[in-house]
Structure formats: structure tokens, C-alpha cells
């Protein structure tokens, strides 16, 4: 004993309750936590009690600038800390779910993280349909970048410069393929979409941070089937739908939840086509779920 030394570090991988921490002496240590804590994420700046060159224990976390997480009825899942940009990746095959995209974007808005939508695999003929489905998102101001990650991702680099970015999206969209193009030495395993089930064995299982240069990092994350936003209250939810913002505060009732209230400005906007009916329905479903939960507890 007596060889413990305290160091600052950056979490670069999160494996349940174990974390890889890049310490200020340049060494990456495999770290556990105190008291079975697991509320740390890739991108967290932490204090580590180091035991030797390879191992340590995380003692504390520096306050975060941002925290991206998802949540369902039971628990929260931390995804990435101190990120400034979300790269939401979709692709025509396997088909993607706009409802998942809506939740990713809402979580990013709520966390103060700037989203960029990437339509990957734009080499596929089905990409035209996907692009049409994404038109409302560009109309509401989200930047959209079409990529063929298999061929190259140079067009993405300017969006990542000076940022810490996180790749999010459903499984099989090509997040790890994008990462490998950006950081060839990462050699993240990518999954082969099997014709039978669309499931592959190389699907990403843990979040991992890579340095692009001294100013920019990128975090690859496992694909999600759903991106729960149970942590957003009804009011926060409406505010996280950026296309709703011009209409907020214009309903007849100040506390309008935009569900069945008369004189709802959002409902009128959906009918007039100023906001898309699909986005409004997505909001209403999430808001109704949220209220039902509040009643239960």
C-alpha cells in the first residue's frame, strides 16, 4: 500500500461499472468505482485514485457541461457527458423509425446539445424515400448531411471540428462505419446486416470515446431500439420539439398541455400543416404517457 496517487482523467469507455480512464500521465487505466456507483459516462472528467500504471478507482466527477441520457419507466441510461454535438445517424436500410429520431432530437435539445442529422447509405436507391421523410426536419432548421460512409466521410469533418460529438441512432445505421473512416486505428467492429434477421454479431456494445485531434473527440455508442425521454416533463417536451416553439404561449390556456384542450395553438398548427401532424401525434403520445405515469405514482 501507500502507492496510491490521485490523478485527473477522462472516461473513454464505459462498460457497466468499469470504466477506462485516460489519466493526466498519459496512461489509460481500467477503473472501478466506489460503492458500486455507475453514474458516470464517456466524456466525464474524473478524479482517480491510481494503483499502479493500469488500474484505479474513480472517486469523483467534475461537474458536467452537458449530459445526454435516455430514460424509461425504471431507469436512466447515461450515454455521454460534456458533448456539444449529436450526430443522429439514420439510413434507408434497415429502415429507421422517425419516432426514435424525434426522441433523440428532443433529448439533445433538452440537454443543450446541437444536433446534426446524417442520412447514411445514400448510395442505396431507397435513400430518396428517406430523404423525403426527413424534409420536415430540414424545414425546422436541422442540418442534414447525406453520406456514403463506406466510401468516405470527409463532408462530416467540418461539423466535428472543435466539438465533442456523439454518434447516436438505431442499430445498423452505420455509426461505427463512420467512426472507422474518421479514426482508422479505432477498428470498431461493424455489423454485417444479415439478410435473414438484420441482426449482426458485431453490433457495438459499449460507448467509446476517440480523439479526432487535440480539439475534437467523437463517441461511438450502441444502437438503440427506443430512446426513452421519460425525464422530460410535458412542458419540457413541448419546448424540445423545436418546430413547436413559435406556437408555444399562444394557446387559450396558459397551462395547455396540447392534448385535448380547446383553443390549442399547436393543434391548430397541426391542422393547418404549419407543424407536421406526425410530429404533433408523436408529442401527444409521449405527453400522454408522461401524464399517465404521474397519475400512477
> Is 247 one of the binding residues for ligand GTP (CB under 6 A)?
no
> Is 56 one of the binding residues for ligand GTP (CB under 6 A)?
no
Cis peptide leading into residue 99 (ω within 30°)? no
> Is 275 one of the binding residues for Zn ion (CB under 5 A)?
no
Burial of residue 272 (CB within 10 Å: 0-12, 13-18, 19+) is exposed
Residues between 196 and 215 with contacts to ligand GTP, criterion CB under 6 A: 203-204
Report in angstroms how near the CB of residue 199 gets to ligand GTP at its nearest.
9
CA atoms of 264 and 98, how far apart (whole Å): 24
Report in angstroms how near the CB of residue 123 gets to ligand GTP at its nearest.
5
123 binds, options ligand GTP, Zn ion, Mg ion, none, Cβ within 5 to 8 A by partner type: ligand GTP
150 binds, options Mg ion, ligand GTP, Zn ion, none, Cβ within 5 to 8 A by partner type: ligand GTP
CA atoms of 190 and 98, how far apart (whole Å): 23
71 binds, options ligand GTP, Zn ion, Mg ion, none, Cβ within 5 to 8 A by partner type: none
CB 193 within 8 A of CB 200: yes
Q: Which is nearer to Zn ion, 89 or 264 (CB)?
A: 264
Report in angstroms how near the CB of residue 140 gets to Mg ion at its nearest.
28
Task: Characterize the bridge pairing of strands 164-168 and 217-220.
Answer: parallel
> Is 264 one of the binding residues for Zn ion (CB under 5 A)?
yes
Report in angstroms how near the CB of residue 162 gets to ligand GTP at its nearest.
24
From residue 213 to residue 252, the character string flagging contacts with Zn ion as x (rule: CB under 5 A) and all else as - is: --------------------------------------x-
> Is 124 one of the binding residues for ligand GTP (CB under 6 A)?
yes
Beta strands in 24-133 (DSSP E): 28-33, 45-51, 55-61, 67-71, 76-81, 85-90, 114-119
CB 130 within 8 A of CB 90: yes
Q: Which is nearer to Zn ion, 164 or 258 (CB)?
A: 258
The secondary structure of residue 278, as a DSSP letter, is H
CB 171 within 8 A of CB 201: no
The secondary structure of residue 53, as a DSSP letter, is T
CA atoms of 58 and 53, how far apart (whole Å): 14
From residue 174 to residue 193, the character string flagging contacts with ligand GTP as x (rule: CB under 6 A) and all else as - is: xxxx------------xxxx
Residues between 127 and 156 with contacts to ligand GTP, criterion CB under 6 A: 148-150
Task: Characterize the bridge pairing of strands 85-90 and 164-168.
Answer: parallel
For 140-217, where are the alpha helices, taking DSSP H only?
157-160, 175-182
Cell of residue 46, nine digits: 474524473
> Is 134 one of the binding residues for Zn ion (CB under 5 A)?
no
> Is 72 one of the binding residues for ligand GTP (CB under 6 A)?
no
CB 283 within 8 A of CB 244: yes
Q: Residues in the site for Mg ion, rule: CB under 5 A?
A: 175-176, 204
Report in angstroms how near the CB of residue 203 gets to Mg ion at its nearest.
6
Interface with Zn ion by CB under 5 A: which residues?
Answer: 251, 256, 258, 264, 266
Interface with ligand GTP by CB under 6 A: which residues?
Answer: 120-121, 123-124, 148-150, 171-177, 190-193, 203-204, 222-223
Amino acid at each position: 500500500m501507500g502507492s496510491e496517487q490521485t490523478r485527473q482523467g477522462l472516461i473513454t469507455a464505459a462498460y457497466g461499472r468499469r470504466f477506462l480512464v485516460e489519466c493526466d500521465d498519459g496512461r489509460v487505466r481500467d477503473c472501478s468505482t466506489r460503492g458500486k456507483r455507475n453514474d458516470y459516462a464517456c466524456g466525464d472528467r474524473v478524479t482517480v485514485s491510481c494503483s499502479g500504471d493500469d488500474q484505479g478507482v474513480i472517486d469523483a466527477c467534475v461537474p458536467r457541461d452537458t449530459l445526454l441520457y435516455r430514460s424509461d419507466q425504471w431507469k436512466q441510461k447515461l450515454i455521454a457527458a460534456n458533448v456539444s454535438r449529436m450526430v443522429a445517424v439514420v439510413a434507408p436500410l434497415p429502415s429507421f423509425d422517425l419516432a426514435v429520431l424525434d426522441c433523440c432530437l428532443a433529448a439533445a435539445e433538452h440537454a443543450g446539445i446541437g444536433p446534426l442529422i446524417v442520412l447514411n447509405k445514400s448510395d442505396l436507391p431507397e435513400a430518396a424515400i428517406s430523404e423525403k421523410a426527413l424534409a420536415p426536419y430540414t424545414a425546422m432548421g436541422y442540418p442534414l448531411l447525406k453520406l456514403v460512409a463506406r466510401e468516405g466521410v470527409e463532408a462530416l469533418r467540418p461539423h466535428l471540428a472543435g466539438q465533442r460529438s456523439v454518434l447516436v441512432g438505431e442499430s445498423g445505421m452505420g455509426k461505427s462505419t463512420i467512426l472507422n473512416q474518421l479514426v482508422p486505428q479505432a477498428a470498431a467492429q461493424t455489423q454485417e446486416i444479415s439478410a435473414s434477421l438484420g441482426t449482426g454479431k458485431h453490433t457495438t456494445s459499449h460507448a467509446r470515446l476517440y480523439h479526432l485531434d487535440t480539439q475534437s473527440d467523437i463517441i461511438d455508442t450502441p444502437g438503440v431500439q427506443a430512446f426513452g425521454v421519460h425525464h422530460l416533463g410535458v412542458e419540457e417536451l413541448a419546448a424540445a420539439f423545436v418546430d413547436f416553439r413559435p406556437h408555444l404561449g399562444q394557446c387559450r390556456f396558459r397551462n395547455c398541455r396540447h392534448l385535448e384542450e380547446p383553443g390549442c395553438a399547436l393543434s391548430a398548427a397541426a391542422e393547418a400543416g404549419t407543424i407536421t401532424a406526425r410530429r404533433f401525434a408523436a408529442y401527444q403520445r409521449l405527453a400522454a404517457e408522461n401524464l399517465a405515469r404521474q397519475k400512477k405514482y
